[in-house]
Amino acid sequence: MAPTDRSAGEYGSGIRIGSFVGVPVYIGWTWLILAAGLTWLFGAPHADTLGPVGYAVGLSIAVGLLVSVLVHEGAHALSARAFGLRVRRIVADLMGGHTAFEGRTTPWSQGITGLSGPVANLLLAGLCYAAALALGDGVVAFVMARLAVINILLAVFNLLPGLPLDGGQVLMAAVWRLTGSPHTASVVAGWTGRIVAVVVVLGFIGVPLLGGTQPSLVNILIVLLIASFLWRGASQAIAVGQARRRLSRLELGQILRPVTMVRGDAPVASWFRGPGQVYVTVGPDGHPDAIVRDDAVASVPREQWDRVPASAVAAAAPPHWVREVEEAPTPELVLSLLAQSGASALLIVHREAVAGIAFAADAMRAIGQ
């Protein structure tokens, strides 16, 4: 299915079966459920007439499906590599599979990487069909013919134009190319992904019901499982697209406020220029140590402002709140520092000068959480 750009690391819930062009290949535990299900599905109805052969056919089809999924994911991996992306792993699991890679994508690399998987399945379908024709009769020809159909279904299903499917990647690439925004493209392809999920439910449950056939409970469950997987992936694409779009529009001023540094012993009257500004007190050693609170200043009668020192209207800053940064602060840098520290406020220092103060509350508001 869809290539993803998940983070690096080992794949926890699977068996490593080898590697392909240096990329580790895993089978997810859930794939074993699929294999058992297919073996039973093909074996059980013919148990009386075929005996163990029926189950062997089922298992062959399950293994053939696994090979088809791995070819599909291998094609994603190869094309991603061709575009200079770093491929972390290939996984085959109950939901088909995924290829995890990292790096900067472009509309072209995303579109072609997405398309490569289904195209590989179509080529494999042609090979299986040719093999079935060449073999004529027999069990192997039967398995090959089934695998040809399975590969066509894999290609068609994955080409449905909505995220998280490959067709959604292709649609996203096209919208990205047209609008110039990968974030808008992700939201659009996420919405079509939700439509695809609804159409899958209507097509496989609604239409048979209207036609007077009652779909089996197993079929209903499988369709709902696939549709919920699609819906969740689509919703995630929408959420990620919206969040990244907000991030890309974020300006430093929204999350980094200017700061006026005042001596802790300086009386309020000597520095206070009104509420809404941030004042930070420095101790005798020149180290920033507390943040002045507007409400504390307001609670002091004006006639006492020339007697009350800054330290009396300041609240202790959170521990480790001063962060020196090497590069000039950007919205991304400030957000990641806030996220890493978990602090409610960070004083950002760049080249030995205070660049500003970042409040977690400002950041939350700016990114719309």
Q: Summarize as ranges the residues that interact with Zn ion (CB under 5 A).
A: 1, 117, 166
* CB-based closest residue to Zn ion: 117
Nearer to Zn ion, 142 or 229 (CB): 229
Token pair belonging to 368: 């719309």
Residue 341 beta carbon to Zn ion: minimum distance, rounded to whole angstroms: 38
Nearer to Zn ion, 31 or 272 (CB): 31
Nearer to Zn ion, 117 or 356 (CB): 117
Question: Is the separation of the CB atoms in 288 and 317 below 8 Å?
Answer: yes
Nearer to Zn ion, 3 or 329 (CB): 3
Residue 297 beta carbon to Zn ion: minimum distance, rounded to whole angstroms: 60
Residue 156 beta carbon to Zn ion: minimum distance, rounded to whole angstroms: 12
Nearer to Zn ion, 28 or 117 (CB): 117
Question: Is the separation of the CB atoms in 179 and 249 below 8 Å?
Answer: no
Residue 254 beta carbon to Zn ion: minimum distance, rounded to whole angstroms: 38
The C-alpha atoms of residue 189 and residue 175 are separated, in whole angstroms, by 8
Residue 191 beta carbon to Zn ion: minimum distance, rounded to whole angstroms: 20
